[in-house]
Copies of this chain bind each other. A is one copy, B any other.
Amino acid sequence: MKAEILSIGTELLLGDIVNTNARFLASQLAAAGVEVYHQSVVGDNAIRLAEQLKESFSRSQLVITTGGLGPTYDDLTKEVAADFFGRKLVENAEILRWLEQRFQNLGCPMTPNNRKQAMIPQGAQILENPNGTAPGIWLEDGEKILVLLPGPPREMEPMFLNQVMPRLQKATGKVICSSTVHLFGIGESAVEDRLRQMMVESQNPTVAPYAKQGEVQLRITAMSDSLDGAQALIAPVRDKICQDFGPLVYGVDVGSLQNALVQALTANHRKVAVAESCTGGMISQRITQIPGSSAVFDCGVCTYANHIKSQLVGVSPEDLEQYGAVSQQVALQMARGVRQLAGADIGISTTGIAGPGGGTPQKPVGLVYVGVSCEGFEQVIKLNLQSQATDAREDIRYKASSHGLYLALEAARRLGAK
């Protein structure tokens, strides 16, 4: 099946936001064996949108759009789509009830323009939106399939995975299933180097690396006519990868470093505490993202100022004076101190220079010390996280927080069960 991705939104044409939706859909469709030869972006403009639909359907059977489904006057994707296929827009009682209920739950009145979101093209299937107010649309017209998805990724992505993908699989008669191996401490190109042979040769399952801010995920995707069949294709490849990369693998289908950490701590009945300087609370925030983290995390401190480092986690003022806040000594005392403060099994710390200012030749922007302290083991690692990213400060902070989570995970596994 040939498909096109059509992103709709003036904010894309003006460059206000980057088009992550097209990337998400492209990778999902590729994994599903759907061929995509064109991506397009048009603004919230009825004429150009209609022209683009014409152009796209002249080349492809399936067109997936994102954006322009909201309640405001410039959201006109449904209107143009209905018109394109000569359908009327009709008010859907079910959606209207659902919308009214939703606004009632939110305790705010439903403004009249929200009724617009209950209008759908005649004969269309509704794609429910549990994450927003704009439902998606699945519209078939002969051979042609038009899928309208909302613009916000947190609404669009689950809608695609849970409601569009199954329909596509029915249309293509195939089941696609994938498994992700999570690596930390190795770069994407190094991973590719070691796996090139496998990546080139392996067609089903396919093996694709995805770099994610200091992490690499290897997604193994198999296509078969049954779920069991697909999983049977995946298993041996996944096992070989885990064997080859050994300790660099921090989990399989585990979601994230913080999730792997909370799982390991929970399993071992251990607790972690965090003292953060340059990461500014990001490690605590990532740990507490995970439901149930309260069982393994009691306390985090963001000791941003030097006197707070001494006051809260007992860093020696002399060492702060002598070595500076960004030093191996201070990182170690912070990890020790917060572990003691919280009565935790593991203490984690970060201190560094996130920039853009504050760097010196001796201590450049990107220099970060990450410390860990647990019974019988203490360690401080020195990182150089210089970043070319547009938001280098946030990139450095995020990667430093990932190293902290990884050290905590290693410690949790080293300590074992209580």
Contacts and interface: CB of A to CB of B under 8 A. Distances in A.
Interface of A: 10-20, 22-30, 36-43, 45, 48, 52, 55, 70-74, 102, 105-108, 111-114, 130-132, 152, 154, 158, 178, 187-190, 192-193, 196, 199-200, 208-211, 219, 221, 274, 276, 279-285, 287-289, 291-294, 297-305, 307-308, 312, 342, 355-357, 384, 386, 388-391, 393-394, 397
A349 to B, nearest CB: 14
A39 B16 contact: no
A15 B23 contact: yes
Contacts of A130: 388-390
A342 B28 CA distance: 48
Contacts of A158: 390
Nearest to A39: B41
A288 to B, nearest CB: 3
A388 B99 CA distance: 12
Given A38-B52, A39-B40, 4 more contacts: A73-B199, A280-B285, A294-B304, A301-B301
Contacts of A107: 384
A71 B196 contact: no
Contacts of A40: 38-41
A41 B42 contact: no
A146 B60 CA distance: 27
Nearest to A13: B36
B281 A299 contact: no
Contacts of A13: 26, 30, 36-39
Q: Give the number of copies in the complex.
A: 2
B280 A284 contact: yes
A189 B117 CA distance: 11
Contacts of A27: 14-16
B20 A18 contact: yes
Contact of A14 (B12, B26, B55, B209): B26
Contacts of A74: 199, 208
A293 B280 CA distance: 10
Contacts of A187: 108
Contact of A298 (B43, B285, B304): B304
A189 B320 CA distance: 52
A209 to B, nearest CB: 6
B131 A389 contact: yes
